Amino acid sequence: MADLSKYRNIGIFAHVDAGKTTTTERILKLTGMIHKIGEVHDGESTTDFMEQEAERGITIQSAAVTCEWKKHRFNVIDTPGHVDFTVEVYRSLKVLDGGIGVFCGSGGVEPQSETNWRYANESKVARLIFVNKLDRLGANFFRVKDQVKNVLGANPLVMTLPIGEEDNFVGVVDVLSQKAYVWDDSGQPENYEVQDIPADMVDQAAEYREMLIETALEADDDLLMEYMEGNEPTEEQIKACIRKGTNELLFFPTYCGSAFKNKGMQLLLDAVVDYLPSPTEVPPQPLTDEEGEPTGEFAIVDADAEPFRALAFKIMDDRFGALTFVRIYSGRLKKGDTVLNSFTGKTERIGRMVEMQAEDRTELTEAQAGDILAIVGMKNVQTGHTLCDVKQPCTLEAMVFPEPVISIAVSPKEKGGAEKMGIAIGKMVAEDPTFQVETDEDSGETILKGMGELHLDIKVDILKRTYGVELEVGKPQVAYRETITQAIEDSYTHKKQSGGSGQFGKIDYRIKPGEPNTGFKFSSTVVGGNVPKEFFPAIEKGFASMMEEGPVAGFPVLDVEVELYDGGYHAVDSSAVAFEIAAKGAFRQSMPKAGAQLLEPVMKVDVFTPEDNVGDVIGDLNRRRGMIKDQEAGTTGVRIKADVPLSEMFGYIGHLRTITSGRGQFSMEFSHYSAAPNNVAEEVIAEVKARKEAK
């Protein structure tokens, strides 16, 4: 199959428990890829093949699967819903052409769905919406449709209506063809009949058809004019308009059903073929230079004309060796080819190429633009690297990952385990860019950093099971930062005379707080030659190198602006080194005077609780220094949004379950840094001091 118009690269993304993985399973069953359906709650689904996924019933890694439907080839990526793994969603969206947003019929638009939807908007990915679990208690298709409109600010185009709900959900009405699809109770997806619309739904179906046509025709002015004059467009014309509007993100075709009960899935698969774009219909990927600035060139999806360009979007270690998942944007790739990694400047020879069917794989000899495949045994490729033609180097837009906010100290239980641990952690860092590791120079401890408790918890579990490394784990540490609150002017002179040539550098400078999230900025307004220009880089380097350790408790410093406005130099004794040392001394001298303070990471917390427990949950969040932002009542409970410092959120899930008798859920993601109150700052400083003394 080489016709690119028949390719669909799609991702399935949603909140935890909305049924993404089950939906993927059903797609595989319907397309004949698997014969026995594996259930998530039995720990047997095809795409959740990590032990940790099967056990917890959640998806951790995005899994890629290839299948076929109505002579179209689908590359499906099942992404995780948990906020600690959003980076997986972000990576997948980067390489997809279309997506299916799955929402739970009773839970509706949940916190994680908002984050994922935002990522998809940023990546400009066309999407279908599937409202799942309509057989569940409290399910209501129309409520979820309204939430999509109000909470996500998206425009849902209703394509199917549910027949019955909760236990009585039997099928769907196809709004465009005005036919009812009714399934029997066998649970088999193919056991359905196409019938006339139930009498009590005829008016509703007609009304939605009119809305569908009016919305769809917004994509084509000529047809809209004809329709206004009373000429009804053909079904083909309407479908063409829906396709155009979907790809331009004007609206999102919305389907409903129950993946678990196998109802409504065929219409969703038809919609992927009919309305989601092929690789050639998506705006081409921009090329950037090494700094990440666009060059104005694009990688056009074409198997024949363009040089080879591909993006490595995921790395996975399994029993067959290291797998690098790659999306090819242009050109062809054959077994035995040599390609260039434009990030490292090194070439790699392509050995084995495989197409993934979750755990199984099919060997390939060549692949082309539009394909998503895995390459076995690449050496120095990491997530976000571009692979390209050796003669025509280029960089596809690089990926940006969030900084970790939480860390734990670990050490191997067995004496000889250090080397084994080092190798294992090295592999895991290559797989997940939001998982970082460093060694504490004073104590020699290994520090693991990640996006949340669950994230690190699973990493420790993988080390134990997959790599056989048992760890002693310290208590979680928060990634504090420091900044200053006042602007000051100061002067510093570095001079050293010890026979022979000396060192001399004098700088007059202003230090002031920068705008949030701007990091370190250096500028110079020196007039005349009091400090020669060639020493500016050394002064900037001196200040920048000191930003790693702040004056309060030794945490990295954020958002500081330094302006050099005057100084002095000596014709013989001044050198770049002397000015760099002067800048370091200046930092040590001035930072404590500039009202240095400790910053703590604040998390955006989203709690779902039954109505009876709202008061207790809010009281508890207040005790944790939380700021309640919003609360919204749903049919099955209340959602509370708050900003809470990370240090107060350890072990929260256990506590929440106790308050709500096991019915509460929550998710959190990093929001911003804000000033820590004095009592908290004092505790942190005392703790840092105690740690240093203990060493």
Rounded to whole angstroms, how far apart are CA atoms 330 and 413? 49
What's the pLDDT at 62? 40
Residue 614 CB contacts under 8 Å (≥ 6 apart), including other chains: 631, 638, 640
How many residues would you count in the chain? 695
The residue type at 695: K
Residues 535 and 632 both lie in one domain: no
| Bridging pattern class, strands 179-183 and 192-195 | antiparallel
Q: CA 298 → CA 125, 164, 282, 288, distances in Å?
A: 17, 49, 12, 9
Q: What is the pTM of this model?
A: 0.65
Q: Give the model's pLDDT for residue 620.
A: 93
Mean residue pLDDT across the chain: 80
Tokens for 607, please give them: 């709690």
* Domain identity same for 456 and 590: no
pLDDT at 447 over 70: yes
CB atoms within 10 A of CB 495: 14
Q: Which two tokens stand for residue 459?
A: 């990493």
Which tokens hold the place of 479?
Answer: 């990634």
Among the listed ranges 95-99, 378-382, 629-633, 640-644, which one has the minimum average pLDDT value? 378-382
pLDDT of residue 112 exceeding 50, the answer is yes
Alpha-carbon distance of 601 to 481, in angstroms, equals 8
Instruction: Please report, as a single letter, which amino acid is at residue 115.
Output: T
d(CA 179, CA 214): 20
Domain match, 149 and 265 both: yes
CB-count burial class (<10 Å; 0-12, 13-18, 19+) for 534: exposed
164-168, 647-651, 678-682: which is most confident: 678-682
Q: Tell me, what's the pLDDT at 59?
A: 35
- 295: pLDDT confidence band, cut at 50, 70 and 90? low
Q: How many domains does the chain have?
A: 5
Q: Does residue 403 sit within a domain?
A: no
Q: Are residues 40 and 182 in the same domain?
A: yes
Strands 338-341 and 360-364: unpaired
Does residue 690 belong to any structural domain of this protein?
no
Nearest to 380, CA basis, from 419, 339, 421: 339
Q: What is the pLDDT of residues 47-83, one digit of tens each?
A: 333 344 334 333 334 456 777 788 888 888 756 544 4
Query: Is residue 87 over pLDDT 80?
Result: no
State residue 294's pLDDT score. Answer: 65
Is 414 domain-assigned?
A: yes
E strand segments, 184-259: 192-195, 252-256
Asked which of 21-25, 320-324, 476-480, 560-564 is least confident by mean pLDDT, the reply is 21-25
What's the pLDDT at 10?
85
Angle subtended at Cα 666 by Cα 665 and Cα 668, rounded to the nearest 5 degrees: 165
| Domain endpoint, select from 257, 281, 305 | 281
The answer to whether 237 touches 1, Cβ cutoff 8 Å, is no
The amino acid at residue 643 is: D
Q: Give the confidence band of 626 by pLDDT, cuts at 50, 70, 90.
A: very high
Looking at this protein, which amino acid is placed at residue 158? V
pLDDT (0 to 100) of residue 303: 57
Neighbours of 275 (CB within 10 A): 23
Residues 6+ apart with CB under 8 A from 338: 347, 348, 349, 350, 390
Side chain identity at residue 276, one-letter code = L
Domain harbouring 273, CATH code: 3.40.50.300
The separation between CA 295 and the C-alpha centre of its own chain, rounded to angstroms, equals: 25
Cβ distance 129 to 148 under 8 Å?
yes
Rounded average pLDDT over 355-373: 77
Amino acid at 3: D
The pLDDT of residue 466: 74
Q: Which CATH number characterizes residue 622's domain?
A: 3.30.70.240
The average pLDDT across 491-498 equals 85
- pLDDT tens readout for residues 414-438: 877 788 888 888 877 777 777 888 8
Q: Are residues 322 and 367 in the same domain?
A: yes
Q: Do 233 and 266 reside in the same domain of the chain?
A: yes
Same domain, 113 and 233: yes
- Look at residue 464 and give its three-state secondary structure: helix
* Burial environment of residue 339 by CB neighbours within 10 A (0 to 12, 13 to 18, 19 or more): buried
Q: Does residue 453 or residue 58 have the better pLDDT?
A: 453
State the pLDDT at residue 252. 92
- Give the pLDDT score at 52: 41
Please check whether residues 371 and 415 belong to one and the same domain: no
Instruction: Assign 45 a pLDDT band (cuts: 50, 70, 90).
Output: very low
CB distance 373 to 364 below 8 Å: yes
Residue-number span of the structural domain to which 589 is assigned: 485-595
